[in-house]
Amino acid sequence: MRLRNKVAIITGAAQGIGLATALKFAEEGATVILCDLRFEAVDAAVEQCHQLGATAVGYAINVTDRAQFDNVVEEVRQKFGRIDVLVNNAGITRDARLQKMTIEQFDEVIDVNLRAVFHCTQAVSHVMLEQGSGVILNASSVVGIYGNFGQTNYAASKFGVVGFTKTWSRELGPKGIRVNAVAPGFIDTPILATIPDKLIDAMREDVPLRRLGSPAEVANVYAFLASDDASYIHGAVIEVSGGLTV
């Protein structure tokens, strides 16, 4: 198991890509710390990890609240002695064209998708610097590389995550901490639930593989990047998009 004895914190871990990542890490032997908003969903996700034989602990928190996340980091450090991996997966969308996007829509997405990534990483980095090792994995998006109609806020946040990744790789790499980002394309998650079937079909046609990706396919990449198999991959932004941007 590639992640045996590693302690990993995953945000947005109760559904979609985050849940798939938590389960994959559990299968690979990690101790999994799951963070998400809703108690019931977090508890259910923790139970799924337990069924795979993993040690798992859940926290119902809002990642935009720095004090809440600081408490999680301290509790994990006290309980397990270390933090080896942080997966900054939590993210939201609030789509609208530029002229119709409200300040509230813009700020909500920036708070969760960008500012919270800064807060979570800064909090965890202190532990990783003390131990001289760690892996930080950030959720970007193909939208964060190429932009997308109606997603000014989301694109800006995911572009920003790429900037974080490149900067932190320079700052933290010499200290033994690897930093990478994953940029999913069209993935079959609850975020797509509000999109009409006609648009989903059009999305499939845009992908050279002619299908949406699964959360597990993104989770597999996170697990690889978190493992020692990826020991010389650093500062990278890896697309998981079925060739969408070819």
* Secondary structure of residue 179 in the 3-state scheme: strand
**193 CB burial (10 A radius; 0-12, 13-18, 19+):** exposed
Q: Residue 158 is which amino acid?
A: K
Helix axes 16-27, 39-51, angle to 10 degrees: 30
Let me know: does 141 contact 184? Beta carbons within 8 Å.
Answer: yes
Instruction: Determine the Cα–Cα distance for residues 17 and 198; give it in Å rounded to an integer.
Output: 23
In whole angstroms, give the CA distance from residue 220 to residue 243.
Answer: 17
Which residues are CB-neighbours of 222 under 8 A, at least 6 positions away?
A: 21, 24, 25, 87, 137, 182
- How far is the C-alpha of 116 from the C-alpha of 63, rounded, in Å? 6
- Which position among 59, 146, 154, 232 bears the catalytic label? 154
Rounded CA-CA distance 1/26 in Å is 10
Active-site residue flag, 154 = yes
Among all residues, which ones are annotated catalytic? 154
